[in-house]
Amino acid sequence: MLPVLPGGTRASLVKKFKESSKLLQDFQKSPPYASRVVIAESPGTDKFRYCPKVIARHYPTAGQVSKEENKSMKSYAMGHRFERPIEILSEIELRLGAWMEKHGLLLLRLGMGTVFFWFGALKSLGLSPAAALVANTMSWLPFPGFIHVLGIWEMAIGLCFLYKPLLHVALILLFLHMPGTFLPIVILPGKVF
């Protein structure tokens, strides 16, 4: 992950960047791939991060070096050969991060819904590999078809996760379901561990 710059707004960061002659000198002494940096907004926040882009787009004189300095910079570990791949990988990272920030909760909700519905359907149909563990854990209940009730409960959780307006219902059902999930650790520790 790329480091987060300290500071507040874009204007204050750009002002600090332009005012700092030492930072500019560091850019000129760095290998070529390190001297190509701009400040990019981190998606969804007011923070800013370094990302490899050509600094000349925003600060035309920042990356210019003399021929003597350019020769000394070639001695760094072939930085010029890795400049473009680093730019491409950083761009991919930023785009994937922005895409995951936008769609991550939807994918999580759909994944949880699918898994709960599938596990519940397996329990309801009597095909669950965990059926024996559930039956042994809940043997103290007087209700013999508890595995089918649990399967319908899990299917309801899954359907509520899949249909967004019922997300609050899914969370309530999940909150009630989770203590039962951990009961085998307390009641049957020998079979769990």
Whole-number pLDDT of residue 139 = 84
Terminal CA-CA length for the chain: 37
Give me the pLDDT at residue 85, please: 85
Backbone angles phi, psi at 154, to 5 degrees: -65, -35
CB 50 within 8 A of CB 37: yes
Phi-psi map region of 110: left, alpha, beta (phi>0 left; psi -120 to 50 alpha): alpha
CA distances from 57 to 37, 89, 166 (A): 10, 19, 48
The phi and psi torsions of 33 (rounded to 5 degrees) equal -70, -25
Summarised one tens digit per residue, pLDDT across range 127-166 is 999 888 888 888 888 888 889 999 999 999 999 999 999 9
- The per-residue pLDDT for range 78-134, each reduced to its tens digit, is 556 677 888 899 999 999 999 999 999 999 999 999 999 999 999 999 999 988 888
pTM > 0.75: no
Residue 166, token pair as written in the block: 């019922």
